[in-house]
Homo-oligomer: A and B are copies of this chain.
């Protein structure tokens, strides 16, 4: 395959090893979305989303965001793609295209590792209806580097800044699985299937976000990439409100027990481990409760109320037996001094892996 028909135009890719890699991946890709006016092979892709378009870009760096020894190349690619696509879910946008920048050592090209990574990214995009339409391939003198750009239709984007006092806070799925998987891998211990899936094949909650946004007035939305504590902090800051987290209600992934037998520690893992890629949703009281049954039926995962919004600042843990405790600095900062790092695994930390 040296060319693809794009709206009646044949766009041929020129010569060169980097084009060969792209060409081989495109050979296995399905037909381009009708929104794609110009597909791969020119200086730009051109997309007509027929309205506002959400744009995001998301880095995955070897030994920072992933370890090669822990994942197949397809899984490395899937995670990188899912992470960018999850950002589209986080504003309730419908994925249309992705572009991929890939920097690889020459041996990663000759061994086929890079091509398998690209195939994993493409599979994640295809799974939510997005077409791979371009990117850049370069040599890396250091770690393998993946940057996935995702673009989607966002006629009514749901932002972080719409939470109001009195609202409810909800999450999809169960939390802590990816974090627990990393802990077990670091300890050289066996990985239950559920944890391996959480780490290797996270599902960007694109369909879930669109389904919910079509059925309820969502006030705020974010995907859990930094950990629930940190991401609630983003909502609280953007909306200028306080978020109260009812810790007893947090849906901790059962399989995390393999990594953290103590329930309190398991909860902290679920609050602070990143890259679960579930959604956190803020909506008016009663708005989501009627949807929990249909949601579980359709998507096979839970929709759980975990807290509420009040006037004030910051994120607070509330329980039956103890006074509210403020989560001073949840989530993970790439450049924060160690003293400020949150407890639990830090998913972007090169010392800890993904």
Contact = CB atoms under 8 A, between A and B. Distances in A.
Interface of A: 9-18, 21, 37-38, 41-49, 51-59, 61-65, 87-88, 90-91, 93, 97, 99-101, 103, 106, 109-110, 133-143, 145, 147, 149, 151-152, 154, 157, 159-161, 221-223, 230, 233-234, 237-238, 240, 329, 331, 333-336, 348, 350
A147 B57 contact: yes
Given A15-B333, A64-B138, A64-B141, 18 more contacts: A11-B159, A11-B161, A12-B237, A15-B237, A16-B334, A17-B334, A38-B91, A43-B90, A43-B223, A44-B54, A44-B56, A45-B55, A46-B53, A55-B134, A57-B57, A57-B134, A64-B103, A99-B149
B38 A336 contact: no
Given A38-B159, A56-B44, A141 B63 contact: yes
B13 A59 contact: no
A138 B348 CA distance: 8
A13 to B, nearest CB: 7
A221 B136 CA distance: 19
A58 B139 CA distance: 13
B55 A157 contact: no
A58 B147 CA distance: 10
Given A42-B238, A90-B43, A99-B57, A333 B18 contact: yes
A304 to B, nearest CB: 21
Nearest to A240: B12
Contacts of A97: 55
B139 A142 contact: no
Which of A37, A93, A99, A145 has its CB near the most chain B CB atoms (within 10 A)? A145
A163 to B, nearest CB: 12
B159 A61 contact: no
A308 B17 CA distance: 28
17 contacts: A11-B161, A17-B335, A37-B157, A38-B154, A38-B159, A42-B160, A43-B160, A43-B221, A43-B223, A44-B56, A44-B90, A44-B152, A46-B54, A46-B93, A53-B53, A61-B139, A64-B141
Interface centre among A10, A57, A348 (most CB of B within 10 A): A57
Nearest to A142: B142
Contacts of A45: 54-56
The 7 nearest A-B residue pairs measured at CB: A142-B142, A17-B335, A43-B90, A16-B333, A44-B54, A14-B234, A48-B52
B147 A65 contact: no
Contact of A18 (B54, B64, B88, B335): B335
Nearest to A83: B136
